[in-house]
Structure 1
Amino acid sequence: MGSEWRFFGEVFVTLFVIVDPPGTIPLFLSLTSGRSAAVRRKTAWQAASVALLVITAFALFGQQLLDYLGITLPALQCAGGLLLLLVALQLLTGQESETVASRDVNVALVPLGTPLLAGPGAIVATMVFVRRVDGPADAVALAAGVVAVHFVLWLTMRYSLVIIRVIRESGVVLVSRIAGLLLSAIAVQLVADAVRGLINEGA
């Protein structure tokens, strides 16, 4: 029983660090700026649900899907990094609010649900943990760890509404610029790691 608890803890801590629920707060506030409280609550629930669904799908069928399509993990990581870079540029230039308002895009699906939350890092980490599963107990521990992380993720976004009441819209604009800068750095790092992985595969 102790080994299953250790496996659960390893899954939870690893995914928590990668997904970084506290770090999603500025991004969530930026992407839902100008929305009503009800819409923000709905978006938080949808984003966490979409992320959980994507992670679960890749845990069950990810390796088979990538093998079938001939896609490597570094290629998936590079694509996610480029998409994140586009989002970061919108946050830095202040265009995200205009884009969301004009197109009525559900940001809970893209870019919040994926690739911000269920990104290449979380997907790859989950697929690695799946390979380590040895028996039903490990499978339950893995599933519990994934669900627990996404529950914390939902709580973080759900109660980020309290932060809005404190910092107000002007604060959200400032946070958006900071979030865009940090997200662009994350995106560039993802692409750099992916390129390094592609080079190693070709070597």
Structure 2
Amino acid sequence: MPVDYLINAFATLFVTIDPIGLAPMFLGVTAGMTTGERRKIAIRASIIAVIILMVFLVGGNHLLELLGISVPAFQISGGLLLLFIAAEMIFGWRQQRKSKAAEALAHDESDSGVHEHDVSVFPLAIPLIAGPASISAVILLASQAPDSVGYAGLIAVTLLIIGSCFVIFTAADRIEKLLGATVQLVLTRLLGVLLAALAVQFVGDGVRAFIAG
């Protein structure tokens, strides 16, 4: 069992998707809804996100081949994207941007009367869970899978992370009260530093492979 690979995969996806940080976003786009309605939205968003990430996890490399993009080139670009996300987390830009987007969407929906089903697709499933960074991460990790066991482990890790999103969505109001603003702020910064280190590793591996190839 490639333990190191799976630990790296879990850390990368957990930090990239940031299930805990999605709790206030979920509350923002489901404001005024009942517990039952929020649960239905959480289920739909999780299922849609799983489908999207599984498609790119399984077929991402084939898509790169079709477009003529090498895996090392994607590793470098994907690593740089993750590094940008990490910088946003460290300096607090990401949470502000997501909060403004969620608030704007909730306001637009209240004015236009959009049905709650749309919230599970956008912005919850796309791009808050299955966004560019997480899609890039699963393609990168799939390309680095050491064997079939590691590949199956990556699928399990991805399902586990999405499952944690569902659990956190259903308990978002309690988690927000439990952690408090200060703890959430510190946790986001620490996860951002971790993601930055992982991103640099991705870029370094991609550069070496690109030069060697």
Do they superpose with TM above 0.5? Answer: yes
Task: Tell me how far apart the structure 1 counterparts of residues 27 and 104 of structure 2 sit (CA, whole Å).
Answer: 14
Whole-Å Cα distance in 1 between the matches of residues 62 and 154 of structure 2?
A: 19
Q: Which residue of 2 aligns with 1:17?
A: 15
The code of the aligned residue for 1:21 comes to P
Q: Counterpart in 2 of 1:7?
A: 5
1:17-59 residue CA offsets vs partner (Å, 9 max, x unmatched): 1111110011000000111211100111111221111111111
Q: Distance in 2 between matches of 1:119 and 1:90?
A: 14
* Match 1:156 to one of 150, 158, 168: 168
Taking a change above 3 Å as real, the CA distance of residues 100 and 86 of structure 1, as seen in their structure-2 partners, is: farther
TM-score if structure 2 supplies the norm length? 0.63
Tell whether the 8 Å contact from 2:25 to 2:99 is kept in structure 1 after alignment.
Answer: no
Q: Does 1:128 align with 2:137?
A: no
For structure 1, the 5+ residue unaligned runs are: 168-174, 176-181, 183-203
Show structure 2 runs of 5+ residues with no match: 86-93, 182-187, 189-213
Identity of aligned residues (%): 25
Q: Which moved more, 1:153-162 or 1:19-28?
A: 153-162
State the match for 2:150 in structure 1: 138
Distance 1:69 1:104, change over 3 A: farther
Q: How does 1:76-155 map to 2 (within 5 A)?
A: 89-91=100-102, 94-101=103-110, 102-105=113-116, 106-155=118-167
Give deviations 1:63-90, integer Å, cap 9, x for gaps: 4335646899669x7xxx9xx9997545
CA distance in 1, matches of 2:175, 2:97: 26
TM-score with structure 1 length normalisation? Answer: 0.66
Displacement of 1:121 = 0.9
Q: Is the 1:48–1:151 contact (alpha carbons within 8 Å) kept by the matching residues of 2? A: yes
CA offsets per residue over residues 157-194 of structure 1, 9 Å max, x none?
A: 11114468x69xxxxxxx9xxxxxx9xxxxxxxxxxxx
- Return closer, same or farther for 1:124/1:52 CA change in 2, 3 Å cut-off: same
Q: Say if 2:46 and 2:166, in contact at 8 Å, map to a contact too.
A: yes
The total of aligned residue pairs comes to 165
Question: 1:62 offset after TM fit, Å?
Answer: 2.4
Superposed displacement of residue 115, structure 1 = 0.9
